[in-house]
Structure 1
Amino acid sequence: METDYFVYAVTDRRFHPELNLIDAVEAALKGGATIVQLREKETSGKIFLEAAIGLKALTERYGVPLIINDRIDIAMLVGAGLHIGQEDIPLREARRLLPTAMIGVSVSTVEQALIAEREGANYLGVGSLFLTTTKRDATFMPKETLEAIRQAVQVPLVGIGGITQENIGELGSLVDGYAVISTLFAKKEIERATQEFREAAKQARQSISDRV
């Protein structure tokens, strides 16, 4: 079954301190999130593992893939997918340890994209496509670079970085999915925010189809 990267929800507890992680993610799933990434940069391994176990049970109930950011040990323990950056465990080694898992790789150049595709990445994360306050060390990706990566590889591209309902139309057909954090989880009504973002994404895609 082909993976749907359309609404790629990336967690960040900072945006919903009064709502626990499981409830926040379930609201996004009810709103139409198609894939979930657990991203925990500032928690202990124990808390990360507990969150991963809870989210794996939740996402299985909704029939949606769970991706673990960076931590291959936790991905292996809970049977989830993995997302890695250029400074994390090399993709070749990750694929050896997780031969059948979904693995995504963040890339910022055509060369990185080609290597990741060749070494078995299921999808590539590309960005930051717009200004973002979520990831302070994010590097802006010019549209020309995104276009070059799109032409160079066949694997799905997931855009990340400042994507909102207002600017999603600017991406055209350059990406296959939209990774969003604050656009969903910083909102008071996460389910409704997810529904609205999904609808905006569908309308953006439809406008592309209408022009073709």
Structure 2
Amino acid sequence: MTPGHPTAEQVDWSLYLVTDPELGGGRDAVAGIVQQAVAGGVGVVQLRDKTLDDRAFADRAADVADVLAGTGVPLFVNDRIDVARRLGLHLHIGQDDTDVRTARDLLPDHLMLGLSVDDHSQIDRLSSLVADGMRPPDVLGLGPVELTPTKTDTGRALGVTGPGSVDDLARHALELGIPSVAIGGVSTANAAALRRTAVAGICVVSAVMAADDPTTAADDLHTLFTHTDRKDPA
């Protein structure tokens, strides 16, 4: 039932999809959209549904895991550590979810942990935890790049470059050896610009979930990100 368990180094972070049942036309459509998006180049999927109870969420996660079986595409679940542990899925948490040290302690070693970050102080805290012996998260989600209606609990847009930007935070994360993806307002309008930063990939929600053709939408984004010349982030 569950997808394979690649290490962070084996994952293609170039295009990361976060699901949204409302944008996708309902929960029953999510697994099908994921399947189409993977055909277009999505290399990582995160299942997010804030209103379902754990049992119903686990059923949906199992459906998406079945779609991804054999593809090599890892499935993360958003803020459902019990579901992640029970189904053997990777976990993504935000700053206001389960504490990162607690999540790392509870999550089996073969499962990856993602963490949302929006400023340098949060990476500084990670640095302290890592220095104290904690295994670092496997990936950071940096954003929002631009303010977006799909995530309304953020105070400011980071922008692509400049102090405190996605690029700035991605370079900081690389000092800890952690890859990152840019999320929030990511589209074909800024995918090429983001390729020229230190992020390992772009993370989208509406750009694929609300698309008439998720395969084509994913392919367009993936092509823009992977075929744009990038500067050395070091």
TM-score when normalising by structure 2 = 0.83
Partner residue in 2 for 1:64: 73
Does the aligned pair in 1 maintain the 2:15–2:43 contact within 8 Å? yes
Partner-residue secondary structure (3-state), 1:42: coil
Which among 156, 164, 187 is matched to residue 145 of structure 1?
A: 164
Question: Match for 1:14 among 19, 22, 30?
Answer: 22
Q: Is the 8 A contact 2:147 2:184 kept in 1?
A: yes
2:35 to 26, 36, 56: 26
Equivalent residue number for residue 202 of structure 1: 226
User: What is aligned with 2:4?
Assistant: none
**CA offset digits 1:93-151 (Å, max 9, x no partner):** 11111131100111112121133352421111110001312112233224421343233
**Structure 1 ranges of 4+ moved more than 3 A:** none
Q: Could you tell me which residue of structure 2 aligns to residue 47 of structure 1?
A: 56
Letter of the aligned partner of 1:189 in structure 2? D
Which of 73, 79, 95 matches 2:88?
Answer: 79
Tell me what 1:131 maps to: 147
Contact 2:141–2:182 (CA<8 Å) still a contact in 1?
yes
Distance 2:108 2:126 in 1: 15
- Per-residue deviation, residues 161-211 of structure 1 (Å, max 9, x unmatched): 00111112222223111110000010111111111111111233x2x259x
**Residue number in structure 2 paired with 1:158:** 181
CA deviation vs aligned residue, 1:1-55 (integer Å, no higher than 9, x gap): 5221111000001112266211111011111110000001122222211011111
Question: How many residues are aligned here?
Answer: 208
Q: Which moved more, 1:150-159 or 1:31-40?
A: 150-159
1:3 equivalent in structure 2: 11
Give unmatched runs, 5+ long, in structure 1. Answer: none
- Is 2:108 the counterpart of 1:89? no
Aligned to 2:126: 116
When the two chains are superposed, the root-mean-square deviation of aligned CA atoms in Å is: 1.8
